[in-house]
Structure 1
């Protein structure tokens, strides 16, 4: 590939990564997909590629559809709950997140909901919601009829419909609540932690069988507090550094030891209390975010 064509590809790389990540929920797979697209672009007849951005988006979308087909079978064998890979977003990795809608569109909560969709429904939803593609453009990418794409989009929106508690806290409020959680956790203040949780809070842990983690969701405030008390006891020596970072568009808790990322914990808040906690501790899923934090 000539220098100019390589440079042309690099201008599209961030957008392509954002598309692949939203499609796959995996930063590692998104990187691999973008690299595959690069190889295809380098071998293409460039005289026939009138709009490189559109051509590459189509290639990446179809590569993601292939990956999703095999990923579903792997996830059925996954040890414990499956959560998406977290991404630090304060560095613009997933593009500008200037509105609540943009932040919500990359949240772990929404990415979990996208797992309800078929691969094609997910492609239609992501292209429409995250990249503002028209139905005619989507039809061209997926080689489907425009009417079919509209139907797939309506179905996807209905299937992604979430409980009314979703995405309610403003960014500043959420950051303050995560800071309060961190302060209470550092001080071993279980009463303070109790005040932050709703009675029906659920804690999800994704260890993937690689590290110790709850294999089932922990439901209810009392059980979550007992679980947290055990975690705090194991980290009482102070060898773990906790901090607040922007992850997938929202304030989250990151834990590191010896410059190694141990966990990323995201929260959903509604009316000042936490209703959902998602903790990613699978080391394979923390590699991308760990590299991001190492560059800070």
Structure 2
């Protein structure tokens, strides 16, 4: 078999894992795909005979590419109070895209990705690779030109920041859907008391409406405040259809075949702990959701 064909086939075997790593590192589907493509280009320029462990080599390369992307993003990010809702992976319950099976593994929700955006690039690298992909600290340290102990410290620091700020979602998808449906029904009927009941007292609502709005992202906390906001968009409930958003119960709101918003829910201990909404028409267009509408 031709060497180039053999190498391409080997790379394709690892592509889902590389995409999963890049997505968790960057929170952007487009940037994750770019990082994976750059990894392939670097592999194509490398003598494969010199690579002892292809999986480890590819993970190292894509991680370093993502680390550089995060550092570049950090330097050009303007001071802002806005919180960016990461790109969601959306599918219908019966039409999940197998290409994103690795991305959806372990149901890494948008709430966790939002918190990961608050970490430093090196903290995020150490946490994602060790806690989500079980990469040893000696390998992680080498990626950052740091000692294994330093990598361990970075992961520990990141873990402390993540704990409590990104609630773990209930694993039962059917139960998640029941809670989300109860929320939508209460919002549609304008039943404020029922809304408060289904919401966690410390619930966080993040709504990304895009740059066309005065504030790019609205963040509301607390069951009472979120319930008051939810009652105002209850009129959209008839246009909401069930969807899987990052492997969890979510909603795709459409009208006339056009997506209006994506809503991701984090259901913890039987109540909604976080709601992440993307209503930015440009971002929705880039997510290519028309086939799901």
> Normalized against structure 1, the TM-score is what?
0.82
Range with bigger deviation, 216-225 or 260-269: 216-225
Q: In structure 1, which of residues 142, 149, 158 is the aligned counterpart of residue 151 of structure 2? A: 149
How many matched pairs?
Answer: 285
Change beyond 3 A, Cα 1:181–1:270: same
| Residues 268-296 of structure 1, C-alpha deviations (whole Å, 9 max, x = no match) | 334433232211222344356535x7279
Q: Distance in 2 between matches of 1:159 and 1:80?
A: 19
**What is the correspondence of 1:96-175 to structure 2 with a 5 Å cutoff?**
102-103=106-107, 106-162=108-164, 166-167=167-168, 169-171=170-172, 172-175=174-177
Query: RMSD of aligned C-alpha atoms?
Result: 3.0
Structure 2 portions without partners, runs of 5+: none
Change beyond 3 A, Cα 1:196–1:255: same
Q: Distance in 1 between matches of 2:233 and 2:268?
A: 24
- Which residue of 2 is the match for residue 294 of structure 1? 291
| Corresponding position: 1:207 with 2:205 | no
- Which residue of 2 is the match for residue 30 of structure 1? 32
Change beyond 3 A, Cα 1:3–1:211: farther
Q: Distance in 1 between matches of 2:246 and 2:148?
A: 31
- Which residue of 1 is the match for residue 59 of structure 2? 57
Q: In structure 1, which of residues 177, 180, 189 is the aligned counterpart of residue 179 of structure 2? A: 177
- Which residue of 2 is the match for residue 11 of structure 1? 13
Structure 1 portions without partners, runs of 5+: none
**What is the correspondence of 1:142-291 to structure 2 with a 5 Å cutoff?**
142-162=144-164, 166-167=167-168, 169-171=170-172, 172-187=174-189, 189-210=191-212, 215-233=217-235, 235=236, 241-287=239-285, 289-291=287-289
- Which residue of 2 is the match for residue 45 of structure 1? 47
Higher relative contact order (CA 8 A, sep 6+): 1
Q: Distance in 2 between matches of 1:194 and 1:28?
A: 36
